[in-house]
Homo-oligomer: A and B are copies of this chain.
Amino acid sequence: MKKPIKIATIGGGSSYTPELVEGFIKRYDELPIQELWLVDIEEGKEKLEIVGNLAKRMFKKANLPVEVHLTFDRRKALKDADFVTTQFRVGLLDARAKDERIPLKYGVLGQETNGPGGLFKGLRTIPIILEIVSEMQELCPNAWLVNFTNPAGMVTEAVFRHSDFRRVVGLCNVPIGMEMGIAKLLDVEHSRVRIDFAGLNHMVYGLDIYVDGESVKDKVIELMTNPNNTNFVKNIEGQEWEPAFIRSLNALPCPYHNFYYKRPETLKKTMESAEKEGTRAEVVQRLEKELFELYKNENLNIKPPQLQERGGAYYSDAAVRLITSIYNDRGDIQPVNTMNNGAIASIANDSAVEVSCIITKDGPKPIAVGDIPIAARGLVQQIKSFERIASEAAVEGSYDKAVLALTINPLVSSDKAAKQIVDEMLEAHKDYLPKFFNR
């Protein structure tokens, strides 16, 4: 008989948790979890309780015998866990707001994953992740770490480079969102769409696109470049590319590519909306407040529909789908962040990549794509270099490497701006960067 399933969720007090719980409920037949441990820090006690109680009500309403444990004791939660999910945010949304605001002062996009914001989120997050990994090696060495915490690519890279733990998968909702977009564009069921993904987290390309296994890439590109396709914009947001560019790229960019292939325009738009409605973090802060008000309602026992607007759609779907496939040795294809192992020729074999994988009980196995298009190689390598140097900066508490990482970042491209941003952001995030200050 199989051992009962124990799941530990670090950052369990997050407003996302009801999504995750809904996912577990939907797939309970395939993934009969017995214990869900929601872990958070003491400062997050109130939220943890609100969310934890909602989770309990949700399982109860679904009539499922899942025990929900709330705790500040991470080690207890990790002990003998089967899967550990991470969705914590060091410094909360306040920190993200700074990640977004400060770079704008220097004429630079903040970008919370692959930009200056991502650098600082990484500097705050990576030391904690490496602590968790080290505890897992002691307390649940056979568990899988499913990391949602951004910058997911940099975090996965850091685990590969700075620990010998290999049971980690980085997860993102961007690829699943791209599949959904294509499904809508072509008006077919999501399950009929498959994309060959390859690249990095938030810098992933669809190398080919299939419906029922037949390539429809040419058709999609035709639709994307056809000026008469008026339905296009509302169907796949963030994919309004110059026809000449997209035809010759001959691959599907991800929405985050707007930062690199429409840098000046995106900067302008971001500055304007920061001015008008606040940065994304500030908007989300308001949304979260409302969500927690809803969660408190003791009659609420399902995921409230308002959570949708929070962003991160399909995250729980992606996460629970992944865990279910690992648990059941499913062998289906899912795009995740894992070790390259040669799947993409121009990325180092021992680096993290985001690529379509076969999901087995032994973890994800990447499908070899040969290489990404020549046109994409430089940018992808640039972000990979950024991730590697940023993760070294995080582990070593190196000021110089933080400046180097930002200088080579394509959103910055200025050693002077890099230095100024690092200086101001180090100060702003002082409390969460012990490697930089306690030495």
Contact = CB atoms under 8 A, between A and B. Distances in A.
A210 interface: yes
Given A213-B328, A377-B381, 16 more contacts: A210-B362, A241-B415, A244-B422, A248-B389, A248-B400, A261-B407, A262-B414, A342-B368, A342-B369, A343-B368, A368-B368, A374-B388, A375-B408, A376-B385, A377-B384, A378-B410
Interface stretch (A284-292, A308-316, A344-352): A344-352
- Among A214, A242, A382, max chain B CB count under 10 A is at A242
Q: Kindly list the 6 A-B residue pairs having the minimum CB-CB distance in the complex, ordered from nearest.
A: A378-B382, A213-B329, A213-B361, A248-B400, A244-B403, A248-B404
A215 B265 contact: no
In which size bucket is the chain A interface? 35 or more
Contacts of A346: 346, 381
A336 B350 CA distance: 26
A368 B341 contact: yes
Contacts of A400: 244-245, 247-248
Contacts of A210: 329, 360-362
A437 interface: no
Nearest to A357: B367
Contacts of A242: 403, 407, 415-416, 418-419
Contact of A248 (B370, B385, B403): B403
9 contacts: A214-B361, A265-B414, A346-B346, A365-B367, A365-B369, A374-B389, A378-B380, A378-B408, A410-B410
A265 B419 CA distance: 14
A34 interface: no
A36 interface: no
**Copies of this chain in the oligomer:** 4
B368 A378 contact: no
A208 interface: yes
Interface of A: 107, 194, 196, 208, 210, 212-215, 241-242, 244-245, 247-249, 260-265, 328-329, 331-333, 339-346, 349, 358, 360-362, 365-371, 374-386, 388-389, 398-404, 407-408, 410, 413-419, 422
A248 B406 CA distance: 12
Contacts of A107: 264
Nearest to A408: B375
B366 A367 contact: yes
A378 B383 contact: yes
A401 B244 CA distance: 8
